[in-house]
Chain A
Amino acid sequence: MEVPILRQGQYLIASIQSALTDADLSHLREALIAQVGRSRCRGVIVDVTALDVMDSFAVRTLRDIAHMARLRGAETVIVGIQPDVAFAMVQLGLTLKGVATVLDLEEGLAFLNRRDEERLLETRPKRFGDRG
């Protein structure tokens, strides 16, 4: 199943609507990374609100997306992880270390906006994942 990737200002928003196979996830990763460069965007939001389970492959793909997008100049934030999913993930040791996560889409946009402002203020590049 194709995941729609929307463009909102300087950000890309990928909203996952249903459970994805591993192939779908890989496809999403490639599509996102390609688009980050093409559209010169500054941020990526992956919305996983609709997901009831998150396996290790999905978590690894999300982490890869974040790291790859970072290399192409965009911050990534994962939004909408459900409480049950979050707890199941940490129990499996899938903690998405170094990847920004926030409550929902609105918070995600606010997070990226804040990141942008910080980037304008600071000349020194911030360490990835530092949310201070």
Chain B
Amino acid sequence: MSKVTAGLDRVTRVPGVRGALIANSADGLVVAEQLMDGVDGRAVAALAGSLIARLARTAHSAGLRPPVFVHLRGDEGSILAAPGADGLVLLAVVGREANVGLARLEMLAAAGRLA
């Protein structure tokens, strides 16, 4: 199992995580994914990838470092994002009941191995 697949596997094992994927934030395309049925990975990669790229540009313009973790919370769940090296970003779609703290730890560890 590759490092990338192993990282996705660890994230998707966290209770409440409906799927995880790695996207390229520059072009918004999926690199690898492990998603439950009904989760549109292509849309998540395009929209969340764009958001992460904009956040990084905003932070840079403000003289700040790019974000290391982003939590976008909605009524029914959240999108979690952990930017890695080379413009790659690890994304997770989680339900409202998810253990976000554990998901965050697993994502930061997995994102650190992205290259």
Asked if chains A and B come from one complex, the reply is no
The residues of A with any CB-CB pair to B shorter than 8 Å are none
Using a CB–CB cutoff of 8 Å, the interface residues on chain B facing chain A are none
